[in-house]
Amino acid sequence: MRRMLSLAGALCAAAVFVTGQTPKGSQSDGALGNRPGATREPEFPSPSIRDYKPRTTLVVPQHPVPRARFPVVDLHSHQPMPISAGQFDTVAAAMDHLNLQVLVNASGASGTRLVDALGAIRASRHRNRMVMFANISFRDVGPGFGEKAARQLEADVKAGALGLGEIMKDFGLHAKKADGSRLHLDDPELSPIWEAAGRLRIPVLIHTAEPQEFFEPLDMRNERWLELALYANRRYPADRFPRFEELVAERNRLFKAHPGTTFIAAHFGWHANDLARLGRLLDEMPNVYVETGAILAELGRQPRAAHDFFVKYQDRVLFGKDSYQPDEYPYFWRTFETGDEYFDYYRDYHAFWKLYGMQLPDGVLRKLYYQNAVKLVPGLRALGLR
C-alpha cells in the first residue's frame, strides 16, 4: 500500500513538473491535503464563454495613444480598387488623425485592373498617401506559368507597382495546379516570379498558413475556440488541409532558395506566439522581414519578450495592420509606445487576455513605423518619407 501511495505521489509530482498544474482533485507535492476548493462545483450555472466579462478592480495608470508618436507607413492595408474620390477622402481624414502617412494597398491587382487602381490614386488630391502592390493569381499552374507571371510582374512594376503581394493564404491552402494537385509554396515552376522580384528590387509580402491553433482540434483546450466556433472557414482539419508545419517548411524552403529576393512574412509569419523560433528564422535568412498585421494580441501578452525581440531585430520588423479599421490603430500605438498594464484588446474573439505595453525606444519606433518600409520599398522616398 505504501509503495502504491508513493507511486501515486510521484505521478502527481511528475504531472506538476511537466504541466505546471496540479490535476483537479489532487494535492500538490508535499501537501497533506487537497487544494482548497479542488473538488467543489459552482453553486450556480456557469456563464457562457461570451457572457463572462468581469469588471476589473485593478487601478493602474492609463495612457491611451490616439495618434502615433512618429509618421507611419502601413505596409499591409486593404482598400478598394480603384478607390473612388469620396472613399479616399474618408480614408485620408482618418489617416490624418492617426498620423498614418502612407497606406500600401496590398489587396493586389495586375494588368488593367492595377493600371486603373494606380490611375485613381494619381488623380486624387491624396496621391502621396497610398501606393499599390501587384499580385498574381495562382490558378491552374502548369509548364510556363512562372515565366509568364514574371513577365506580367515586370509590366506591373513598370506601370507603378512598388511590390508584390499580399500573396494570400490560399497559396498553399487552396490553390491547385492544372493537374488538380495542391500547389506547394516552393514549387520550382514559380521560381521565375521570385527571381524577377529580386531582380526588380521589390519586396514580396506573403501570407502563409494561419495561426497554428486553426489547424488543431476545436476543443476546450484551443485558445482560439470562440473565433473558430464563429468562423467555420478558419478551421483547417487534417483530412482536408496540409498541416501548419508542412506549410511553414515549404515557405522556409522558398525563402532559402531565393536569397536575392526580399520576402516580408505577413503576420509575423504566424510565429508571434514563439518569438525564439521567429528569431532563429530571421538569423538564418537575412532576406526575410516580418510585419505586425493581426498579431497584436500575441505581442501584448508577452511585453518584455516582445520588447527585447523588437530591439534585437529592429531592422527587420515593419508596421502592418491588415484590415483598415481606424479605431483599432490606437491599440497598436499604446502597446508599442507605453508601459501600460492590463488593457483590453479590440476583438475579444481573438484573445481572452489583456494587453500590456512594450514601451519601445524612440529609435526602434521610428524604424518600425516608417524607416524600415522606406528602406525596403522603392518609391516611398519620392513621397517625402526619409
The pLDDT assigned to 352 comes to 86
Average per-residue pLDDT in the chain? 92
- Dump pLDDT digits (tens) for 157-180: 999 999 999 999 999 999 999 999
Instruction: Please report which confidence band the pLDDT of residue 385 belongs to, taking 50, 70 and 90 as the band edges.
Output: confident
- Beta carbons of 167 and 206 less than 8 angstroms apart: yes
The pLDDT assigned to 381 comes to 86
Burial of 15 (0-12, 13-18, 19+ CB in 10 A): middle
Cell for 71?
Answer: 509618421
Instruction: Judge whether residue 25 has pLDDT over 70.
Output: no
Instruction: Please report which confidence band the pLDDT of residue 8 belongs to, taking 50, 70 and 90 as the band edges.
Output: very low
- Beta carbons of 183 and 138 less than 8 angstroms apart: yes
Domain 72-383 fold is TIM Barrel (3.20.20)
- Dump pLDDT digits (tens) for 262-316: 999 999 999 999 999 999 999 999 999 999 999 999 999 999 999 999 999 999 9
C-alpha span between 218 and 103 (Å, rounded): 36
C-alpha span between 85 and 120 (Å, rounded): 8
Instruction: Please report which confidence band the pLDDT of residue 21 belongs to, taking 50, 70 and 90 as the band edges.
Output: low
The pLDDT assigned to 359 comes to 98
Instruction: Judge whether residue 89 has pLDDT over 70.
Output: yes
Contacts of 72 (CB under 8 A, 6+ apart): 98, 99, 100, 101, 319, 369, 370
Peptide bond into 166 cis (omega under 30): yes
- Could you give the 3-state DSSP secondary structure of residue 2? helix
SS3 sequence, 4-39?
A: HHHHHHHHHHHHHHHHCCCCCCCCCCCCCCCCCCCC
The pLDDT assigned to 35 comes to 81
Instruction: Please report which confidence band the pLDDT of residue 15 belongs to, taking 50, 70 and 90 as the band edges.
Output: very low
Cell for 153?
Answer: 510582374
Which of 7-11, 99-103, 133-137, 313-317 bottoms out in mean pLDDT, i.e. has the lowest? 7-11
Contacts of 274 (CB under 8 A, 6+ apart): none
Query: Can you tell me the mean pLDDT for 231-239?
Result: 97
- Could you give the 3-state DSSP secondary structure of residue 205? strand
% pLDDT > 70, the chain: 93
Beta strands in 244-372 (DSSP E): 263-265, 288-291, 317-318
- Beta carbons of 109 and 132 less than 8 angstroms apart: yes
Instruction: Judge whether residue 71 has pLDDT over 80.
Output: yes
Cell for 239?
Answer: 483530412
The pLDDT assigned to 179 comes to 96
The domain ranges of the chain are 72-383
The pLDDT assigned to 222 comes to 96
pTM: 0.91
Instruction: Judge whether residue 367 has pLDDT over 50.
Output: yes
Instruction: Judge whether residue 80 has pLDDT over 70.
Output: yes
Instruction: Please report which confidence band the pLDDT of residue 28 belongs to, taking 50, 70 and 90 as the band edges.
Output: confident
Pick from 290, 270, 165: which is nearest to 214 by CA?
270
Contacts of 328 (CB under 8 A, 6+ apart): 321, 346
The pLDDT assigned to 263 comes to 98
C-alpha span between 347 and 336 (Å, rounded): 18
The pLDDT assigned to 33 comes to 80
Residues paired with 205 in a beta bridge: 264
Query: Can you tell me the mean pLDDT for 208-231?
Result: 96
Q: What is the DSSP letter of 359?
A: -
CA angle 51–55–58, rounded 5-degree value? 150
Instruction: Judge whether residue 68 has pLDDT over 50.
Output: yes
Instruction: Judge whether residue 361 has pLDDT over 50.
Output: yes
Residues paired with 163 in a beta bridge: none
Instruction: Judge whether residue 350 has pLDDT over 90.
Output: no
Beta strands in the chain (DSSP E): 72-77, 100-109, 130-134, 164-167, 204-206, 263-265, 288-291, 317-318
Selected residue with higher pLDDT from 66 and 51 = 66
